[in-house]
Structure 1
């Protein structure tokens, strides 16, 4: 196996090498780390007909270079899967990466079993999407099926990108439901009720019902008080995204 790693990757490069190491009698994976890809790097990656992958640090995936790298990787014979590794970001970012040609988005840190399974899936031509992005993807597919595809600027940007356990813990800390937590996070961004309805694909009446229940649970009279109370109770993750 040959893996060309592009970008910073300082925090996870060693862990990736260890995770991809298989049985002792099998040739270990060879990782080549570069800041940017040059022609010799593509030649090196194409030399072996066996398993090969182009791995991008999230910092590279967030630049326009991701489109060029995915296009070149797709032209290889056989095509080289592109995998983004790091703090996998918001669902709208992940959707853009998938549209560019990325095969998998691998949050880091992750278990050895998950890392190997994601690479195996990419090698077989499949795609991997983190759990946090599935809701946004389902909304996008629903809109496409109805012939009402949203432009990228309006794709759902769910505030729950990150550790699911932390999100559930914070909603429990505040004594609110997970849906109310989502709405509170969107309110903290300054979004209007109408925009929140578009983000969460709910009616305005449903959104207002959730907001009223949220205020009652927190003992708040308005948006500002709700945000202040949540911060005072220690809901730090709420404001990180």
Structure 2
């Protein structure tokens, strides 16, 4: 059982985040803390698999992440920021920092980011190559809406390069994209206009082709191979190290 710790100074926000994450990993244990928890002199006895650390300013990010690392020794840390953009000048963070998500991001973005980081991936924005360097992470997370058949076919056609790279059919890739967003099998079937049984069959096949056994591992394997799964701002470990 994995332990997820949420460090947020505002009680109501902390409670909301905990409720939001309650269905992300059924086998996970959730714990809420405020900033007083990282001011302790002694380390916490329970090592967290993931710490979601709230930061109000990137000016304080080094002190907060260092203190969190010392007290909780997390396997991974995900920053929850009041800002939509993490400055590329921020360096020297603990190696456990695996990404950040703006607090105003949609709930499914936070849930998907948590799943990805728990699976061993990272969630950093790509270093921009054009003038739109101030684009927020949020602009790259677009909810999937394939209820209109023509739009769905267009998206499937655009996904062909990634589906071919992963050794998946376009339909299997569509299923993987929806699974990456945390949708249950019934919702996957509804979006793609297929039965739940067919969605499950596609899921089992794509697991076999990616040589994995569950949703999180499939997402991480796809991202590790260079797939974006419709999220240009999510990169694997190598990409995030270059950012």
> Normalising to structure 1: TM-score of the pair?
0.43
Specify the structure having the higher radius of gyration (Cα): 1
